[in-house]
Amino acid sequence: MFQTEGPLLSRLNVLTDLVAVNLMTVLMCLPVITAGASLSAMHCVVRSIRHDGGGRLVPLFFSELRTRLKQGIPVFLPMLLILLLGSFEAGVFLLQENQAGRLYAYVLFAAILFAAFLENTALLVLSYGPDRVSRIGSNTLRLAFGRFPRMLGSAFLMLLPVLMLVFLPALLPLYLLLGVTAPAMAASYVYEPVIQSFADRKDPKQTEQEASWPH
Residue 165 lies in a domain: yes
Return the amino acid letter for 83: L
- How many CA atoms lie less than 13 Å away from 35 in the CB half-sphere? 17
Residue 15 lies in a domain: yes
Q: How many domains does the chain have?
A: 1
Instruction: Please report the pLDDT score of residue 94 as a whole number.
Output: 83
Residues 61/42, Cβ–Cβ less than 8 Å: yes
The number of residues in the chain equals 215
Residue 164 lies in a domain: yes
Residue 32 lies in a domain: yes
Residue 43 lies in a domain: yes
Q: Which domain holds residue 70?
A: 7-211
Residue 2 lies in a domain: no
Residue 86 lies in a domain: yes
Instruction: Please report the pLDDT score of residue 55 as a whole number.
Output: 73
**CA end-to-end distance (rounded Å), the chain:** 38
Residues 57/45, Cβ–Cβ less than 8 Å: yes
Q: What does each of the 215 residues of the chain score in pLDDT, given as a tens digit?
A: 344 556 777 788 899 999 999 999 999 999 999 999 999 999 999 999 999 876 789 999 999 999 999 999 999 999 999 999 998 998 888 888 788 888 998 999 999 999 999 999 999 999 998 889 999 999 999 999 999 999 999 999 999 999 899 899 999 999 999 999 999 999 999 999 988 766 555 544 444 444 444 43
Helix/strand number for the chain, H first, E second:
9, 0
Residues 137/192, Cβ–Cβ less than 8 Å: no
Instruction: Please report the pLDDT score of residue 210 as a whole number.
Output: 45
Taking CA atoms, 81 is separated from 37, 118, 140, in Å, by 16, 14, 19
Residue 1 lies in a domain: no
